[in-house]
Each structure stands twice: as structure tokens, then as C-alpha cells.
Chains A and B, each alone.
Chain A
Amino acid sequence: MARHAFTLNGQPREVEAPDDMPLLWVLRDLVGLTGAKYGCGEGVCGSCTVLVDGAAVPSCQLSVTEVRGSAVTTIEGLSADGSHPLQRAWMAEDVPQCGYCQAGQIMGAAGLLAAKPQPTDADIDAAMAGHVCRCGTYVRIRAAIHRAAQEARA
């Protein structure tokens, strides 16, 4: 057990946690941010995706030690009021069904747009390859990513 300092949604944060505790459980069980979801715990479903220093990663696969000193952004930090272009696009395209995977999907898309503001379909395929949506909302996710990108261009 040790103290770990990192930046969480723009604010400095310190947590006391076992060194090997995945960021997902730090966020959910210690900090109380529950937007990131458990889906598999093995990095194969993408439900727990957050941004670490701007890159989309499954938070179940990073220990708290590995994010020391990093900037972590969760769905709660993307924007509190849903005003981020991706969040607005998700609503405009009526993407969610059950909604469970969508915070992870949005954060995956945020990582993509940070790296490639105008992604092609192939870029979207590659960037979102780590995400599963059992409701099968992929068609609308793709449309929402394009919509957010287009809005940024306009």
C-alpha cells in the first residue's frame, strides 16, 4: 500500500492503494467515479477506456503505479455538462442502447480524434478495435465520430 499522485480530470489527486491495483478499481471503488465500466478485466472489451496523457487505454490494464504523474481523463472529465463534441454527437446520432459500453466507446473516440482529428473509416476501424458493443451500435458510433470530426472542421 502506498500513496499515488496523478492528475484526474484536471485536478491533482492522491490515492492510497496497492501498487498493482488497476486504475479502473481506483476510479470506481476508491475515488467514486463510476463512468468507467468493468466488462472483462482483461483489456478485450474496452468498457473501461479512459485517456492517460491523451491516449485511450483500458483502465483495467494499467496499474495505479503506472499512472503516477500522468494526466487521467475519464468520461466525467470530458465535460460535466455533455458539451464535448463527441458527447453531443452521441446524443444527436442516438447512439446508446443499454449504454454500458458507451463511456468507453466515447473515450476511445476521444483518443482517436486527439491523434487524428479527421479520421477515415479505416482509422475508426483501427482505433475502435478494442471495443465491443453487445447492443451492436457500431453503425451509429461510426456516424457519431464522423459528426464530431465534421463539427470540429466547420
Chain B
Amino acid sequence: MSSDSNEPAEGLHNDAIHSDPTRDVSRRTVLKGAAGFQLAAVFGPFDGILGFVTAHPDGTLVDAAPDAIVQAGGSRISQWLTIAPDGTVTITAHKGDLGQGIRTTVAMIIAEELDADWEHVKVVQAPADNAFGNQGVAGSGSTSSMFNSITMGLRTVGAAARTMFVEAAAARWGIPAARCRTEKSTVIADDGRRLTYGELAADAAKRTPPAANAVQLKNAANFTLIGRPTAHVDNADVATGRAQFALDPVRPGTRYAVVSKSPFIGGRVRAVDDAAARAVPGVIDVVNVGNGVAVVGEHTWAALKGRAALRITWDDRGNAGLTSDGIMAAKAAALPDAPPIDIPGARVVASTLDLPFLAHATMEPMTCMAEVVGDRVTVWVGTQSPQSARQGAAQAAGVPEGNVTVNCMLMGGGFGRRGGNEWVREAVTLSKRLGAPVKLLYPRDEDMRTDNFRPASHHRLRGAVDASGRIVAWQHHLASGGSGNGPNQNLANQARPSYNIASPDLQAVGVGDPLSVGAWRSVSHSQINPANEVLMDMLAHAASQDPLAFRLANLTNNRLRGVLELAAEKAGWGTALPPRVGRGIAACAAWNSYVAQVVELEVAVDGRIKVRRVVAAVDCGQVINPLGVKAQIEGASVDGLSTALGAAITVDGGRVQERTFAEYVWFRMADTPPIEVHILTGKSSSAGGMGELGYPAMPAAVINAVFAATGVRVTRLPIQPADVALAGAPTPVSTAVSTAVPTAVSTAVPTAVPPTAPPPTTVPPRPTDGPGTSSSKVFLPWGGTGRP
């Protein structure tokens, strides 16, 4: 129904329907066209007090109300909204929360137009139900579609309900609705009489929803909640341990299952000797689940011990020779030959960038709880695609989808990982077989190696500036993954830089990955944007220009300009820094939002890197929740630092080598610098996407900062100490100053950076990105500010 969540991440500058109330003509046009559809979709038959029945488009009747609403009681205004006599406003969030704060955002948008008293708003989670439209969470599209769209937007949901309260009060008082206003869940007449929403709820619920063209949306200038820093609605539950994830509901008779899947990429079970596993006390069953084996126990510990006792012979499917170096070499080899840039008088730069496979590594591994009773199926799962989970559960149980209830739990991280339903199918299969509720857990190593990884990619970057510093050539040729082989014009189109580049030479080829690959926070932007922002930096240095000034001189988009200027200003861009300390800047324009990030870091002589500071400026148009924007940028910045300096998925002998956070090195407390987030407002009245925006500039900002600090142009991520150490210095295994801690109780984490290198005694040449110098090490003569 809605187009929001299937919007591809690469949907740059998607023109969502404009909701600016000042643009009355266009808004009315949209409303008229969509009126019937909107109300049919939002307001099913509702019968006032209880009776939580919603008609499906297909005519079946299901219970679309979360249990919590049924228990809470109150009057049901619509499937989104129930008001209790005490004034409690219960809002249904139809999209799942994985740390992006969407439950808070949904409630804020509805509550704003409803004029609800935020202090008495509760949020419950909708089960998977087509009555809510597409419940998927992907492509940074939820907020923009919910806020901007008139036809499917949540502002209309709140405003229509507000109208019903006004009409209910006006009817009681026998006055025209026009004499009433609303504030904090109260209708106030012009003579001062007041009725609360709680007092009016039963009346309001019986009213016919207004015609869509009678619904008045607020002018943004009158927002009292949207734009206000608002603490996330689940904070108290999280801080007290009450927050419910998929494995947390306690059901009598529950069985506990874990899986063992092929350690070989694409491998299959050839034979299983489960005698030892079945002999483990507490093990109940061992089940072949197709591409792996599940062990079921009386508790998780029995299942884990049973799993360890399994003797499985794997069929490596001929993949035992796979290595990540080989995979990357194949990608590089797949790029078509291109002659070097040959423009008389131009300064030419050339480099490459290799980006690795990345795992999602959500803190909560893939989990699902399922209970099959007769032909009814109940599933508890954290999912980015509730409808897909429901389909998978129905197919696994062999029942109609209408027999399946999917309780959408909080997700312990997602980043694109939870779009699948394999673990849902497995849990349902096991529950049906055992006749008991089953909690299915992918142990960390299984979760990591069975991931759908961010594809690895190889980028060939070339460009040239003329004597005046004008960009006269731009080549970005990349080979990425996915299932398709051969030229990929769509991907090439996505590689178009955000700067004004005349006739960029963009080519992309797909090289089928042997690993399963999928969407990872920011999808192809995570590959393309770092490459573009590195090439831009190389060209700036070739033109002997400051990287910020060079960017500003080569753009016309004022929103992009705004974030670059603000981030630079707040970061003290251009001020002096000690030796081997550098600042790098990079930007990203996507999802109708803009960000620029400045990374300041220090490269020790042995190649270890201490990030000193991150400063971000963001313009996402209409801000719903500034605290949400701040959290998304802080978190995605940590992702960017972690993947630039620590984490990668590697393959050797046909096996994914990383098992857990000991090998997949993510930033921790000691690694994480202060991160400042500055928000620019007022440049657009539509809401842009925020969930992925903070990632794609970060790897480039790190690479550019390392260049500023050392003169080394990094050509692969994650950066290895040997790539950036002073010649001759012994190097550690990781650039991260505090590398992964082998045991949780260790306190021996080095936090101090070794003494910095003494300044060079002779003035070295200016660093360049010319051909053949991409891995040379050159001192910066100007103290590492990155400025000429």
C-alpha cells in the first residue's frame, strides 16, 4: 500500500508529497484525490468502546489491536488510537523499533496533530497486519513517508481524530465546532468551557470520521511537540529491564533451541552424528532444518552443549578455496580497462579503494519465539518486515496467514539484518514438531557467519584538475557484489557525486558474491559515498586547495553548502594541530537529507589511530525529534569509525573468519571520541530520512583525516597500522587504540596514545595523490591541518 518502506535506499532526493500547509493548492489537490483511500485505510469499522475488529481489504476479520490496548480498555477512535476515560492516549506504532526511535516518532506525529497531552501518551506495538499498510522498516523511509505523505501520513490520522473530539464537544455544548479549539487533550470552547479527551472519548469514538478534505493539518509554526527534544518512549522499560525482545516473553512449557549452520560459505549438511548431542542431559531433540541442525533443550544451556556435541560432516560445495583476497581480486579484475587520464597541463590523481564485507552484528542475534497450537500460530519476533515474518510463519506451519499472529517485539539492532524470516520459519517448524513454545536463538558465531553481508567492493578513482584548480576529469569505476554479473547501470547512476562535476565517467559492474549479501545501513551509499568523498579530497590537494574550500567551490546545493560550512566552523577547521594529527571532512546527500562530518584524529608512529573528535552538521528538513537526530548521527558515526578502523568480515579457506566481537572489532567506550551534532533547520518543510545518513561520509572523513595527518592516502578499509605507521616502526594488529577486549573483566585497556613523532627535520614535499604515490608516506609540512 504505502511506498515508503520499499523505497530503495538509493532513492536520492525522493520528492515525497509535500505537506507544507502554506502550499494550499497542491495539498488540496492531493487530499481530494486520495480522500476515500485514506479513510478506508485508516479507519476501519470501529464500534466505539471495545470490539477491536478491523476489516481487511480481503474481507477477512482479524483482531488488529495489540493485547495491550485490549487490556487498557478505553474508546477506540481508530486502529491507531485509543483514549481511556482517565485521558491516557494509547497510540499504536505500526513500525518496529530497532534503535531508530520510530515508536517515539510515530507517537509524536499523531500526538501533535491530535493536540494530545504528551505526558499521558502511551505507545503499543501493532502486530503484523495489512490493515496498517506496509510495516516494513527500510531505506530511511519511515519518518519521511509518515510525515510528508498526505495519503498515507500519520498527521492526517491525528488531525482526523482531533476533529472528532471537537465535534463531540461541540455537540454536547450545542455550539458550532468553529467555536472550539484544542490543547493538551482538552477541547476548549470560546466561552471557556472545557472537556477532556477522556471525558469525550466514548462520544468521539461513535462519530463518523471527517471527510478528508475537512481535515486541517497544522502549520508547522504551530507545532508544540514536533521539533521538541523528546526522550524516547521506551527509556524507562529499557532502564529497568522490562523491555521485551523476542526471547523475553515467559510461556509455560517453553523449549529452547539453537542452530548449527555450515561454517563453509554456501555449505550444506552432508551427514549428522547426533548421538553425543542427544546424550547431553536436558537435550530433547535434534532436528535437521535444511541448511543446518537445530538442537532443542529444556533450557538454552542444554541446547548449547548439545550443539557443541554435534558431529556434522559438511559439504563445502566446492567453496573451500575461497579467500577474501581472491574475491576482491576478482572484483578488481572485472573492471573494464580504462586508459589513464591524459589531459595536457592537468594534474592527475589516481587511487583505488577496497571496502570489505561487513556483518550487521546486531547486539541481539537472530531470535524468534513461536508457539503453534493446532492450526493457530503465534510468533514473537523483532522484524524489519512483519508481513514477511507472517508469510514465513504461515508457510512453515502450513496454515493461512490469517491464523498467524506476529507480535512485533523490540529489535536489538537491525541495520538491515532483520528483513528475512529464516529464523521465523525455523522456530515455527520446531514448535509444531515439539508441540510446545520454542525460543530459537542463533548463537553469536552462527549469527555472524550466516549474515547477509554488506558486499565488498573495489573502486578505481581517477580525476584531474587544470592549472586553475577546475575539475576537468572524474572517473569512478566500481565493482561490487550482489547476485548479478556484468555492467550495472543503476549502480553507476547512483555513483553520481553530489558536487558539480561535468560529465563524470561512472561505471559499475556486478560480480556475484559467493557469500550471501544484503542491505547494510545505507546500502550502496556505504560504498559509493566514501569513494566519491576520497576522490574529492584527492582533487582538492591536487589543486592545492583546502578540502573544504574546494568542495564549496564545486557545489551549488545550498543545503549541502550549509552543512559543510557549519561542521567546519564548529570543528575549528583550519586551526593549527600538532604533528600527526589531522582533520578530514566529508559530506553525504541522500534521503532528502544532508550531513557533513569532520573527523579529527591522531596517528601514532606505530600506526595506531586515536580519534579525538567528530563534529557533524545535519540538515534533514523538518526535524521531528532532535534527540532522535542526535542519536542517529552519533551512532552512525561510531559505525563509520568502527568500520574504517576495526571491523571487517574476511574469508579464508571458504569460511568466514570472524566469530564474535573479539574478531569483529567494534568501537567501545575508550575508542569513542566526543561526537558533536549540530542541526540546521528551516531549509525544507519536508522531513528527510535519518536512519542511515550518518554513515556514508564517515569512512571518507577518516581516510581524509589520515591523509592530513600523515600524507598517506589509504586504499583499503579497515585501515591497518602498517598502512599508516612511520617507516620502520613496529606495528600492532589493529589501528584501534583500545582493541577488542578478550575478556569482559579485563581492565588492562590502553587508553593513552604513545608519544607523537618528532617533527621532521627537513621540509618534505607536499603530499600528492598522483599515480604511483598512493601508498607513499610523506610528512605534512604545515602541522597536519590538511591545508596548503
Contacts and interface: CB of A to CB of B under 8 A. Distances in A.
Interface of A: 1, 18, 20-22, 25, 28-30, 32-47, 49, 57-58, 61, 74-76, 78-82, 87-88, 90-92, 94-103, 106, 122, 124-142
B744 A49 contact: yes
Contact of B635 (A21, A101, A124, A135): A135
Given A42-B444, A98-B98, A126-B747, A29 B299 contact: yes
B250 A43 contact: no
B741 A44 contact: yes
Given A25-B301, A35-B241, A57 B745 contact: yes
Given A91-B239, A125-B670, A134 B662 contact: no
Q: Which of A1, A38, A99 has the most CB of B within 10 A?
A: A99
B118 to A, nearest CB: 15
B416 interface: no
Interface stretch (B81-89, B548-556, B636-644): B636-644
Interface stretch (B230-238, B719-727, B755-763): B230-238
Contact of B662 (A42, A75, A78, A136): A42
Nearest to B242: A35
B745 A130 contact: yes
A133 B363 CA distance: 7
Interface in B618-658: 627, 631, 634-639, 642
Q: Which of A42, A47, A129 has the most CB of B within 10 A?
A: A129
Contact of A124 (B361, B365, B669, B745): B669
Nearest to B298: A29
Chain B interface size band reads 35 or more
A44 B662 contact: yes
Nearest to A90: B239
A90 B444 CA distance: 27
Interface in B198-244: 231-232, 234-243
Nearest to A127: B747
Contact of B412 (A87, A99, A126): A99
Ranked nearest first, the 9 interchain pairs of A and B with the lowest CB-CB distance are: A35-B241, A136-B638, A100-B412, A130-B744, A98-B99, A97-B99, A75-B241, A99-B238, A125-B670
B443 interface: yes
A32 B248 CA distance: 8
A67 B631 CA distance: 37
A49 B97 CA distance: 23
A49 B740 CA distance: 17
Nearest to B231: A94
25 contacts: A21-B301, A29-B299, A38-B441, A39-B661, A40-B661, A57-B744, A57-B745, A61-B745, A76-B240, A81-B240, A95-B239, A96-B234, A97-B635, A98-B99, A99-B234, A99-B412, A102-B239, A103-B241, A126-B670, A131-B669, A132-B661, A134-B415, A134-B666, A135-B99, A139-B672
A25 B627 contact: no
B362 interface: yes
Contacts of A135: 99, 363, 413, 631, 635
B660 interface: yes
Contacts of B751: 122, 125-126
A133 B441 CA distance: 19
B245 A37 contact: yes
A79 B236 CA distance: 12
A138 B240 contact: no
B241 A130 contact: no
Nearest to A74: B241
A98 B444 contact: no
A105 to B, nearest CB: 9
Contacts of A39: 363-365, 444, 661
Contacts of A49: 744
B256 interface: yes
Q: How would you classify the secondary structure of chain B's contact residues: helix, strand, loop or mixed?
A: loop
A139 B632 CA distance: 12
Contacts of B740: 44
B743 A125 contact: no
B111 to A, nearest CB: 18
Contacts of B235: 90-91, 94-96
Given A32-B250, A78-B240, A135-B631, 6 more contacts: A35-B242, A98-B411, A127-B747, A129-B747, A132-B661, A139-B675
Given A42-B660, A102-B239, A138 B744 contact: no
A99 B104 CA distance: 14
Q: Which of A25, A41, A135 has the most CB of B within 10 A?
A: A135
B634 A140 contact: yes
B570 interface: no
B33 interface: no
Contacts of A142: 669
A34 B412 contact: no
A137 B635 CA distance: 6
B238 A125 contact: no
B661 A82 contact: no
B247 A34 contact: yes
B743 A130 contact: yes
B240 A87 contact: yes
Interface string B24-56: 000000000000000000000000000000000
Given A57-B745, A100-B412, A91 B231 contact: yes
A75 to B, nearest CB: 4
B697 to A, nearest CB: 15
Contacts of B302: 18
Contacts of B232: 94, 96-97
B101 interface: yes
Contacts of B241: 33-36, 74-76, 103
Contact of B444 (A30, A41, A122, A126): A41
A25 B302 CA distance: 10
A137 to B, nearest CB: 7
B639 to A, nearest CB: 6
B746 interface: yes
A37 to B, nearest CB: 7
Interface string B254-272: 1010000000000000000
B245 A102 contact: no
Contacts of B738: 125, 129
Contacts of A21: 299, 301
Given A44-B662, A91-B231, A139-B674, A30 B243 contact: no
Contact of A100 (B236, B254, B363): B363
B659 to A, nearest CB: 9
Contacts of A94: 231-232, 235, 627, 631
Given A138-B668, A140-B634, A82 B236 contact: yes
A1 B282 CA distance: 10
A40 B637 contact: no
A47 B666 CA distance: 14
Contacts of A82: 236, 239-240
A37 B745 contact: no
Q: Which of A22, A124, A133 has the most CB of B within 10 A?
A: A133
B619 to A, nearest CB: 21
A114 B506 CA distance: 58
B742 interface: yes
B744 A37 contact: no
B660 A40 contact: yes
B667 interface: yes
Contacts of B99: 97-99, 135
Nearest to B230: A94
Nearest to B662: A44
B700 interface: no
B674 A134 contact: no
Given A21-B301, A90-B235, A125 B669 contact: yes
B231 A37 contact: no
Interface string B418-450: 000000000000000000000001011000000
B55 to A, nearest CB: 34
